[in-house]
Chain A
Amino acid sequence: MKKVVKGFWLLMASLALIAPAVCHAEEAIKIGYIATMSGPGASLGTDILDGFKLGIRHCGDKLGGMPVDLVVGDDQLKPDVGVQVATRLLEKDKVDIVTGIVFSNVMMAVAKPITDQGLFLISANAGPSPLAGEQCNPNFFAVSWQNDQTHEAMGKYLQDKGVKRLYLMAPDYQAGKDALVGFKRAFKGEIVAEVFTKVGQPDYAAELAQLRAAKPDAVFVFYPGGMGVNFIKQYAQAGLKEEIPLYTTAFMLDQSSLAAMGDACLGIMNASFWSPDLDTPANREFVADFKAAYNRLPSLFAAQGYDAALLMDSAIRAVGGNLKDQEKFRAALRKADFQSVRGKFKFNNNHFPIQDFYIRQVVKNEEGVLTNKIVATAFTDHADAYHEQCPMKW
């Protein structure tokens, strides 16, 4: 009996010796994905993750030829929680690279702690202006956009269209103010009023009555998420859609919000860097496969997640999986040697994309599903307004 026990222990000990060697042969790249995965802001985080996972699948369930170990963290839309999650991913899970981050306030809190550790952070959504300008960072890349760019595109479109008197509305917080600043950078006509409402306000009846009385030529608003669904429904229900044309950006009319608005959103124009009908080979494949995998049309957020995976794949492959050599990995990311769903894609000196922006309109497709369709191009090769303040040159 004693012998058996002894043999058992020996066997266990030898297994323990073998185990690390086995792991080593199958070394995986460990990716930390941090996003808002719970609470009212969760649909963006899940959309980006779905796109990201599809990207991994398109690269053969690997990134850069290496198996992927994906660790998901929930920042709960709180900057302090974001920092806690990032610390956990860095120190306990020992991730090799971090991506995700939906909201700019979370991004501003986690960017420094992550990049200070020598890790690379690939934003799949948030593109706050400080990180594009003076605080630009050699280990930070945004595969999405700079926050102001999409609003600038709509400003440019309405300016070119010759709209005279415009009414502006946004929630009273940083992203709302940035949206209107970006819009006004390109729109030079008369601003009848600039109305800021409380963040998360559900009902806009009072503000819409004021808007109607002001009789502007058009309205530009920025209300992301649930606020946007409320606003669009109430705008249509008040009969304003036929009276005063409404313009916005894709953050309000992304694919995941359209169903919740119903026909109220039909025909509304919005600016975006991407659209499901964008005719590039990579995009056709992405949209078809996303639909097959998740049984719904992708949103722009899913497209960003997909591109984040493809960008990582290209750079990890270029350095043969060695992310420790930061110089080489950075150079590989800068090349952006991947087939973006938007067609051409390149990084500016501040690691934000230089890209085209389109004007889309909400339509019903052949199956009767609400979706967006490109009707015009607002900008080609558009760089953000902050890149000149970024001291990084390459």
Chain B
Amino acid sequence: MTWVNAVVQGIMLGGLYALFACGLSLMFGVMKVINLAHGDLAVVAAYLALGVVTVTHVPTVWSFVLVVPIFAGVGYLVQRTLIQAALNRGVLTTLLVTFGLSVVIENALQQFLSANSRSLSIGSLVSDSFSIGQITIAYLDLVILVVAVVVLLGLQYFLSSSRNGRLIRAVADDREAAQLSGVNYRHVFGVAAAIAFATVALAGLAFGMYTQFDPTTGTDQLLLYAFEAVVIGGLGSLWGTLAGGILLGVAQQIGAQIHASDQLLAGQLLFLIILVLRPQGITSRRELA
């Protein structure tokens, strides 16, 4: 039964990882940009939520109402300025620029907000749970998983059915042909980045409620998990990202079941095995939706 429990807890954790990974996957799929500041952005979102709660005294769970739109706007601006300027100089430049952004964010957070660990306090929700047989499920974990699935479903629907989603897929397929069809690809890139930043903000809030964070969490943990989920699932595929996140979560929980210190190792091992045996990821289609 403990093994079944490990799998269930892994699936719960997988939702959080998928939420982290889908923005990374979207930015790579559409603009071929690997955003190395992705994890740091999630941490910034968590700190921003702390600030919002301190100033407005709203319950922590509602901080997303402000944080997510702010991140979407910032995402559009960063894409249209910093990342677009890097893209104009070649895809490799975007790696350098986003790496630089990551360093700047991490050091700015340490400078101004100290290196102390924080967490988003959500009262009793953090420990409330219910049981099915011998398996205990925390409400928070379930909520995060549901949010992740809803976000991915919404993103899928947006990409397949809306005008902007259609343009995002067109630009991802062939940027030059899209220009020849009258599409301003820079704007479409901005929209895609806005969505990616909004999802990473949600992921950062969820993580801040789930556990503690500090200025180095972004690069030490979050970016790595997001990368692993994306690679396991297959680059550019949303459902692959969910599957990748869940597989990573399950692997970690099973590792933790074997020995508490094996949690991360198990996830890393699965990542390596997939990378060697099936580098295109478990879903082989290279599409967005």
- Do chains A and B interact in one complex? no
Residue ranges of A at the interface with B (Cβ–Cβ < 8 Å): none
Residue ranges of B at the interface with A (Cβ–Cβ < 8 Å): none
